[in-house]
Structure 1
Amino acid sequence: MASRFQHAMILHIILFLQIVHLIKGQLRIIPSYEPVLGVVGKEVVLPCQLEAKAISEGVLVQWTLIGNSLNTEVTTYDGKNAQNPVKENKAYLGRTNFFQSEINKGNLSLQLKNVVVSDKGKYICSVSLENWYDEVVVDLDVAAQGNESAVHLDGYVDQGIGLTCKSHGWFPQPEVIWLDSKGQIRKEKVVTQNLQTSSGLFDVVSSMTLEPGSDMEVSCRIVNDVLNTACESRILVLDVFFPSTSPWMTAFLVITFCTMAVIAAIGYKLKINCTRRQKEETTDELKKGKYFLSSINRCDHREQI
């Protein structure tokens, strides 16, 4: 009798071990080898797929952002809580979503909405089911396409003309390239600044000086290597704008000087006439009110004593 009982226990243990082995063999998270690219302002899906046809409804899924010193729990799905299975971190409120209709098929991926620069990083998808546990790391990269670039004429710099190219809203820091009419990189000295805003995006300001006799067609190209995209603006500067080559520049300066001299002379004449008139009016008023003024002065003098 005892041997039968022992034999039955052994069979149950073997069966249990086979079931556990079967679960472990069937359940496995498909690893994510390539980084996921998210575009600022849009949505992105962080993949976490179980290699199984069907799983229990009691699965527990946690998405965590790995930080330098502190990990942040982004969101959690608890299949045992039928009424309210999803719990979001306040910092991600309204920005995360599980594909709940596909969870029983092993799709535990996370949809992250309205991507921001601070979302960049490594995420852990950890899955618990009965006596089974596994996790996978998903690397999220973030990029942003800035607005259209624009080239402006800043004014004269010695005998040349200053040009500035501006664009806003890039991530990561873009590359700025100045080109000539043949698409070749220009040889002029270029000064470029990437100013990072509070949102983490970069505003680009790049300047150069176009000298007389240079290729007058200028292009400013801003490149985002992560997105493999670029914005380009082009401008054509005529020789007539250069102070050393402009035939009307001297005449313009002479006319301007003469006009300012005439305006100054008229203003000086009007000021003299106005001053003379005021003096005459003041003299007449003093003569008329001489006795009255002397009386007032005397009264003031008494009060002071």
Structure 2
Amino acid sequence: MKMRFLGRTCLIVLSLLPAVSTQRDGSSVIGSDQPLIASPGEDVILPCHITPSLSAVDMDVRWFRQKFKIPVHLYEDRRDRTDIQDSDYRGRTALSILRLQEGILSLDLRNLRHTDSAVYSCYATDGVWSGQGKTELIVRALGTQPSISMDSTQGEQTRLVCRSEGWSPEPEVTWRDRDGNNVTSLSNTIVKRDSQGLLGVSSFIKIKQQSNVFSCLVRSKTPKPDWESKLHISSDFFPGVSGWMVAFFLTLALSIGAIPLLAIQWRRMDGMNFIIIMRNFI
């Protein structure tokens, strides 16, 4: 009887194993199909989850970049393994136990650095089943406002040089002539990385006397939806245009721009005077 009972028990257990395996095999780990864009110093959450929802509290969860054995964060045996964590991320990452209970493997990453830009892999396993998802993070550093200067070498055609530093990732440089035409194809751009890993750009364009006004626009290739570039400069660099003419047109532009403000202020003052008169009359 005992042997028969044990035999039935074994059959029941064996019959359940395929069902458990099928449930795990039907699950997958999902990252983000859109890159996450942030700035240095910000805190972000790298999204990742198991679908259908499955508790990951008893699983091993590993976040890494290129090297599997050097984790950005490792959750193993129900605890965080900071002893083998990448030293660049130590003290800056966290996994939520409450989220793990719901199958959410998202990683909290604090105090972003521009070197954090990478494709992150999220890997989860229970020893039998495993799944992996990916999330891209772009840490965007906006560089300095570009400056334009003349670069004239004896015997060669005069060039304008547009310089800007402190970018990540590499920015886009656009040249326009005085008529607003895009003349970037006539330019040559050099990109160099500084000691901090940020990028500096130097863009050169040859100029002629008859085309004496150029603008240089340096902007990020990965703008946020509501982000507007303010790194724009346009100036005249030829001796044919005197300094007093530049000052005259600048003063004229400022005066024209101030007219609407003065009109608004005059209406406000006129309205206030009317109110005072009415009060005195009453």
> What TM-score range do you get, normalising by the shorter chain?
0.5 to 0.7
Tell me if the contact between 2:38 and 2:140 (Cα under 8 Å) persists in the aligned partners. Answer: yes
Assess, with a 3 A threshold, how the Cα gap between structure 1 residues 174 and 89 changes in structure 2: closer, same or farther. Answer: closer
Distance 1:32 1:141 in 2: 11
Matching residue of 1:9: 10
1:237–1:124 Cα change, 3 Å:
closer
Contact in 2 for aligned 1:188/1:209 (Cα 8 Å): no
- The 1:86/1:133 distance shift into structure 2, 3 A limit, reads same
Contact 1:98 1:108 in 2 (8 A): yes
| C-alpha spacing 1:235/1:65, structure 2 compared with 1 (3 Å) | closer
8 Å CA contact 2:218–2:232 kept in 1: the answer is no
Root-mean-square deviation (Å): 3.7
SS, match of residue 215 in structure 2? strand
CA distance in 2, matches of 1:113, 1:192: 34
- Report whether the alignment pairs 1:29 with 2:28: yes
CA distance in 2, matches of 1:143, 1:54: 31
**Other-structure match for 1:178:** 175
> What is residue 87 of structure 2 aligned with on the other side?
90
The answer as to 2:234 corresponding to 1:235 is: yes
1:60 partner amino acid: D
How far did 1:4 drift? 4.9
Could you tell me which residue of structure 2 aligns to residue 224 of structure 1?
Answer: 220
CA distance in 2, matches of 1:237, 1:91: 46
Partner of 1:75: 73
Identify if the C-alpha distance between structure 1 residues 94 and 206 changes in structure 2 by more than 3 Å, giving closer, same or farther.
Answer: same
Shift of the 190–125 alpha-carbon distance from structure 1 to 2, 3 Å rule, reads: closer
> Given residue 61 of structure 1, which amino acid in structure 2 is its aligned partner?
V
**What is the one-letter code of the residue matched to 1:95?**
R
- Cα displacement (A) at 1:76: 1.2
**Equivalent pair of 1:117/1:199 in contact (CA under 8 Å):** no
Q: Which residue of 1 aligns with 2:50?
A: 50
Aligned counterpart, 1:190: 187
Deviates more, 1:152-161 or 1:95-104: 152-161
Residue of structure 2 equivalent to 1:138: 134
1:61: which partner in 2? 61
Query: For residues 176 and 8 of structure 1, what CA distance do their matches in structure 2 show?
Result: 72
Q: Separation in 2 of the partners of 1:45 and 1:8?
A: 46
C-alpha displacement of 1:141: 4.8
Q: Which runs of 5+ in 2 are unaligned?
A: 243-282
User: Over alpha carbons, which structure has the higher Rg?
Assistant: 1
Aligned counterpart for 1:102 among listed residues 86, 91, 99: 99
Q: State the Cα distance separating 1:142 from its structure 2 match.
A: 3.0
Letter in 2 for 1:211: K
Name the SS for the 2:88 alignment partner: helix
Q: Distance in 1 between matches of 2:78 and 2:113?
A: 32
Name the aligned partner's letter for residue 74 of structure 1: V
Cα distance in 2 for residues equivalent to 1:188 and 1:14? 69
Displacement of 1:47 in angstroms is 2.5
Q: Secondary structure, in 3 states, of the residue corresponding to 2:28? A: coil
Please report the TM-score for the alignment, with normalisation by the length of structure 2: 0.66
Q: SS at the partner of 2:129?
A: strand
**CA offsets, 1:213-236, max 9 Å, x none?**
21x432101243344875542333
Q: Do the aligned residues in 2 keep the contact of 1:76 with 1:86 (CA within 8 Å)?
A: yes
The verdict on how the C-alpha distance between 1:188 and 1:156 changes in structure 2, with shifts beyond 3 A counting, is farther
Distance 1:143 1:101 in 2: 27
Partner Cα distance (2:30, 2:56) in 1? 21
Q: What is the distance in 1 between the residues matched to 2:165 and 2:235?
A: 23
Q: Aligned partners of 1:102 and 1:21: how far apart in 2?
A: 23
Aligned residue pairs total 236
CA distances 1:240-271 after superposition (whole Å, capped 9, x unpaired): x23xx77xxxxxxxxxxxxxxxxxxxxxxxxx
- CA drift at 1:178: 1.2
Equivalent pair of 2:31/2:122 in contact (CA under 8 Å): no
2:145 to 123, 126, 149: 149
Structure 1 gap ranges (5+): 247-305
CA distance in 2, matches of 1:15, 1:183: 72
